Chains A and B, each alone.
Chain A
Amino acid sequence: MNATQWGGMTAIFLASSVEWVEAFTIVLAVALSIGWARAAGAAAAALAVVAALIVVTGSALNVVQADIDLIRAAIGLFLLLFGLRWYVKAIRRYAGRTKLHDEAKEFAETREKIDHAEARVAWAVAFKGVLLEGLEVWLLVVALGRSISYGQAAGSAVAALLAVIAVGLVLRAPLTRVPENTLKFIVACALLSFGSFWSLGGLLDEAKVWPLGDATLLILFAVYIVAGRLSAIKLRLPQSAATQGARA
């Protein structure tokens, strides 16, 4: 396996972990209301939908015979759209302009929402929560899977799911200690690196745009990391304003 494949797999593993942690929080909150069996059933149903999407899309992409440069450009553009969104969000959180995602608060809010609800409503909350988080994982597997290997991409997402379930079942509590913003920031930098490399490499002559080849990915990653952190420092609000800004 080369460095690009390792980078892609790591990005999917970390991104999926973040999504699965959020999904686990919702399932845990629902489980305390309608029991583990039904909550796990809702999660399993949502995961089955995500798995089916991954399998169907993978098969469809194998059938499509399109120009490889065109596919790389399209995937690159998608990664830029996805990565930039996460990058901006992470910078805003580092700068104190948006509140950090709080799993304990998410857990409490979900509990409150389903406290007096019927069992089927609680089931639907777990199903929808896992499905929405799972859709983001599906998008990443589809995007990166075409350029690394679909099996490796899907395998990384499954490994992240198993890791989160294992830790979650041991703790039986929201995974509040996961450094979510840092993970999202690192993943965003990786997605922007792959996206920059593939989008322009697909639209123009890759050898001329990126003469250093795959090694450029590491340089791009470092540039996005440094620029993101510097942006966050520059945009950091004073403590009092940060509290107000994060509340808004």
Chain B
Amino acid sequence: MKKVVQLVFGDARNVASVAVAVALAWAVGQWLPAASGWVLVAALIAAAFWQAA
């Protein structure tokens, strides 16, 4: 079961990365919807770099 959960969500860092990136993009989207998508992309790339380092 643990392995299946890990297959879906990955580790805690992965879950935190996605949660923070989406929350940030959603917050930006309240004022600047057209910029929110690119905020999400930038946040995910930064998170990937942080996790890979």
User: What is the CA–CA distance of A91 and B15 in the complex, to the nearest angstrom?
Assistant: 18
User: Among the listed stretches A26-34, A58-66, A202-210, which one makes contact with chain B, having 4 or more residues with CB under 8 Å of it?
Assistant: A202-210
Question: How many angstroms from the CA of A228 to the CA of B18 in the assembled complex?
Answer: 16
Closest to B33 in A: A208
Size class of B's contact patch?
20 to 34
Given A77-B22, A82-B8, A199-B22, also A231-B49 (CB < 8 A): yes
Contact B7 A235 (CB under 8 A): no
CB distance from A22 to the nearest CB of B (A): 13
Residues from chain A with a CB closer than 8 A to the CB of B33 are 204-205, 208-209
- Taking the nearest CB of chain A, how far is it from the CB of B26, in angstroms? 6
B29 & A84 in contact (Cβ 8 Å cutoff): no
Q: What does DSSP make chain A's interface, helix, strand, loop or mixed?
A: helix
A-binding residues in B (CB < 8 A): 3-4, 7-10, 14-15, 17-18, 21-22, 25-26, 29, 33-34, 36-37, 40-41, 44-45, 47-49, 51-53
Which residues does A use to contact B, with CB under 8 Å?
77-78, 80-82, 84-85, 87-88, 91-92, 95, 97, 132, 135-136, 139, 192, 196-197, 199-200, 203-205, 208-211, 216, 220, 223-224, 227-228, 231-232, 234-235
